Each structure stands twice: as C-alpha cells, then as structure tokens.
Amino acid sequence: MKKNLKHLIGLQDYSTKEIKEIVDLGEKISLSPKKYSNKCHGKILATLFYEPSTRTKFSFESAMLRLGGNIIGFSDANTSSVSKGESVADTIRVMSFYADIAVMRHPKEGAPKLAAEYTSIPIINAGDGGHLHPTQTLTDLLTIQKYKGSLENHVIGLCGDLKYGRTVHSLIKTMARFNTKKFVLISPEELMLPNSLKRYLKENYDLEIIEVRKIEEIIEDLDILYMTRIQRERFFNEEDYLKLKDSYILTKDKIKNAKKDMIIMHPLPRVNEIAYEVDEDKRAIYFNQAKMGLFVRMALIMKLLEVE
C-alpha cells in the first residue's frame, strides 16, 4: 500500500479541521465551479456500485467530469466479473491499475474498508449497508453551512428511520463534533436510533438528546428538520415495512408553527415522507442539498488526489 494514502471510509478518521477544509473548499467551488474545470485533467475515477444509486453515483461522475477527469465503472455488479464470484478484494486490486481513485457502494458493512486494504488508490465509501454514508454527510454539512451560515449550535430534528438510516448515523456522529446544541429524535418505537449510538453521544459530548413520536410536538424548536425514508431494503419482512412505511408524512400543516428560517433537509430519494406541497416552501431545500453534493464531491476528489 502507498504510504500516507488517505481514503474516506468514515469521517471518524478525519479531524474536524480536515472535514471543515473539505466543506469550505466545496463552498468555494459552488461559487465559481468553472475555475476548477481542469484540476483533474488526465485522472480517472472508478465508480463501483454494488447497490442502486442516483445522486451519489452521478454526482461523483459529474464531479470528476467537471474537474476535467474521466470516469469508468459499473452500476450493476452483475455486468462485471462479480457475477462470476469475484471478491471485492480481487476486484479492487485490479481496478487500481485502471483508475486513480475509486468510489464504492456495497450492501455489506465494511466492504469499502476491506477494499482499502487491497489497493494502491484512494477508496471512498459511498454507503456500506446500514452503516455509514460519509459523502452524504459532507453534502449535508455543506448545505447546513450554506443555508444556516455555520455548522455550530443548532437544534437538529431527525425524523423517520433512525435505526437503519446510514445517512442519519453518519450525520449525528459528525454534527456532534461541531457543537450541536440538541438532537431531537423523531421515530416510531421500532425504528429508534440504536442504543449504542445514543450511549456514544452521551459519553462523548455535552449535548441534549430527546426522543418524541410526533413532529408537531417539537417543530417550533428546530433549526433543522432532517427527514428520512423508511429503508425498505433493510427490513427482514415486507409486513413490518408496510406497517411502518407511512409513519411520517410532512405536510404544510405540520410545519405551520416552524421557525421562519428552519431548513427542511432530506438525503433523497423520498417516497411518501414529504408531501409534494411542501416543495414550494422556501425552507424546503432538499433539492439544493443534492446540488451541494456535486460541489463537495469535487472538493473531496481534489483533496484525496492532492490536487491544489
């Protein structure tokens, strides 16, 4: 393995200073993206997606193309030699010869970490099972910085599938490091945030955590409302999913008492959890959030390839 090689498996491996540098560079790029159009000329990004994706895959590909680089990869592992039984380790060993940096999404927790042990190029975790989704977190951080002016001292409501939602797990762990004032956890009993994560927060940070069942109970306190999809693909049986799938549907009526400058975020895709009528509210910024994903991924590629 190359000495000093840096991957992005989880943001716990990065200092708050390093995270802030990526977010700040993402913000700079968002103001004048054309200035960066030749930064990765001659470089190749491989996208290895063993699970479906729209935003993560295409924003990474668009990011590399907008930096002047090239892309290769698959969005269906069955079109590669994975269908013949090739392991993640062997696949990434070979891809290291063909690309300068690789992005991997995999249904198994830890697959990108394993890949990083077998490669000479930087590996980016684009989501591993119900575990982590660090580049969604960087996207969320850039969005919060851009729309709230700072990453610090917010009251953040997280609503929906807090058990399986990897975006929530990554975001909570990272925002705790930026002096979050309070997390409000809004979920059905069956989909509560894992106790291990609550314990970790309580043991390591001086912040308040409360749990409620209804958005309306708490909406006027929130600076940020982070909605999430119920993760159908992580349920062991369809009956349980059907019982919980419409636990939360955000409507105009439910946000009528919210602060004027509260922002509504969602990593997308949405299913039923935000009614289309909410899209026209100026506090609904989830589509701009997806746009921020492009700029922060441009920043991340530049950092990992050590491009100035």
Structure tokens at 26: 């993402």
Catalytic residue among 7, 39, 43, 56: 56
Instruction: State in angstroms the smallest separation of the CB of 269 from ligand CP.
Output: 6
Instruction: Please say if 180 is a catalytic residue.
Output: no
**Using alpha carbons only, how large is the chain's radius of gyration in Å?**
19
Instruction: State in angstroms the smallest separation of the CB of 112 from ligand CP.
Output: 14
3-state SS, residue 165: coil
Alpha helices in the chain (DSSP H): 16-31, 55-66, 88-98, 111-117, 134-148, 166-176, 195-204, 238-244, 286-304
3-state SS, residue 104: strand
| Burial class, 206, CB count within 10 angstroms (exposed 0-12 / middle 13-18 / buried 19+) | exposed
Q: Considering beta carbons, is residue 194 or 269 the nearer one to ligand CP?
A: 269
Q: Considering beta carbons, is residue 228 or 247 the nearer one to ligand CP?
A: 228
Among 55, 163, 169, 297, binds ligand CP (CB under 6 A): 55
Report, in this order, helix, strand and coil percent for the chain, each rounded to 5: 45, 15, 40
Q: Considering beta carbons, is residue 96 or 293 the nearer one to ligand CP?
A: 293
| Euclidean distance between CA atoms 290 and 281, whole angstroms | 17
Residues 113-142 as x/- pattern, contact with ligand CP by CB under 6 A: -----------------------x------
Instruction: State in angstroms the smallest separation of the CB of 282 from ligand CP.
Output: 22
Instruction: Please say if 166 is a catalytic residue.
Output: no
Among 2, 37, 153, 269, binds ligand CP (CB under 6 A): 269
Q: Does 228 bind ligand CP (CB under 6 A)?
A: no
| Helix, strand counts (H, E) of the chain | 9, 9
| Euclidean distance between CA atoms 17 and 83, whole angstroms | 41
Instruction: Please say if 56 is a catalytic residue.
Output: yes
| Euclidean distance between CA atoms 305 and 296, whole angstroms | 14
Catalytic residue among 43, 105, 131, 303: 105
Instruction: State in angstroms the smallest separation of the CB of 146 from ligand CP.
Output: 17
Stretches 9-17, 182-190, 241-249, 267-275: which one binds ligand CP (CB under 6 A)? 267-275
Instruction: State in angstroms the smallest separation of the CB of 75 from ligand CP.
Output: 11
Q: Does 194 bind ligand CP (CB under 6 A)?
A: no
| Euclidean distance between CA atoms 111 and 107, whole angstroms | 8
Q: Does 268 bind ligand CP (CB under 6 A)?
A: yes
What sign results for the dihedral spanned by CA atoms 37, 295, 43, 75?
A: negative
Among 47, 53, 174, 180, binds ligand CP (CB under 6 A): 53
Catalytic residue among 55, 66, 146, 297: 55
The residue count for binding ligand CP (CB under 6 A) is 8
Among 54, 120, 251, 288, binds ligand CP (CB under 6 A): 54
Q: Considering beta carbons, is residue 112 or 267 the nearer one to ligand CP?
A: 267
The C-alpha angle 178, 184, 188, rounded to 5 degrees, equals 135
Among 115, 267, 273, 286, binds ligand CP (CB under 6 A): 267
Structure tokens at 65: 């193309």
Q: Just list the catalytic residues.
A: 55-56, 84, 105, 133
Binding positions for ligand CP, rule: CB under 6 A: 53-56, 136, 267-269
